[in-house]
Every structure is written in structure tokens, then in C-alpha cells.
Amino acid sequence: CDTMDSAAALLLWPLSLLSRLDALWLPTALSIAAVGAVVSVIVLRAVQHTECPAGEPPVDLLSRPSAEGLLVSLPIVVFGFNAHLQTPIVCAEVLTLCQKARVARRVMTAAIASALALC
């Protein structure tokens, strides 16, 4: 078993045992910060490097995908599909938690709607 896989399993397993989603506020905030950092690095590198590195051909976006490329992208597509299936459940719990606070409910409804619109 790979060490990184074991470490990820030991980190994520206790989080999957929590009974309420609001207990995941800290891991969620850290995840959002990590995604923001990765996006920032990608954008900065794209802005700084306008030419291909020496010896590397430019990426051809119109060519047929290889079997290796399909196998690499398949987990991402499956994750996105599963995340969309869980969206109504998460939305119902979030909106139930925000029943008492009108402003929080409006903000969460707008956030959920905008996230779904982006997908």
C-alpha cells in the first residue's frame, strides 16, 4: 500500500464518520484555501510562461485523446458526477440549518445557486 494513500485514508476516515455536515467547517475552509492556492499558482505560471519550454511541442487540443489521457481524466469525471448527486442532500441540510437566520438562508441559497450555475 502506498504511504500517501494510507496517510490520506487515516486523515479522511474520521471525517467521514461525522453525523452532521456543519462539523466539517474547518476541513472545508482548508480545502477551499488549498484550491485557491493551486488556482493562483496555475494562473501565475500561465501568465509568466507564454512560450513552450525548450523541446516540448505545444498542446494540440483538437487531437484525439489517448487511452492514457482517458484513464487520467476518468476519476475526475466520476467525482464530479458523484458530487452532483450529493448536491440536493447537502443543500437540504444547509438550508435546514439556516431556517432561523433569514440573511444566512438568503446568502446560502445564492451561493448554492451560483455554484450550480457554474457547473
Over residues 82-115, the pLDDT tens digits come to 777 777 777 777 777 767 667 767 777 777 777 7
Distance, CA of 88 to CA of 115 (rounded, Å)? 12
**Is the model's pTM score more than 0.75?**
no
pLDDT at 52 over 70: no
Angle between helices 102-118 and 67-97 (to 10 degrees): 160
Mean pLDDT, residues 57-78 taken together: 74
pLDDT band at 76 (very low <50, low <70, confident <90, very high): confident
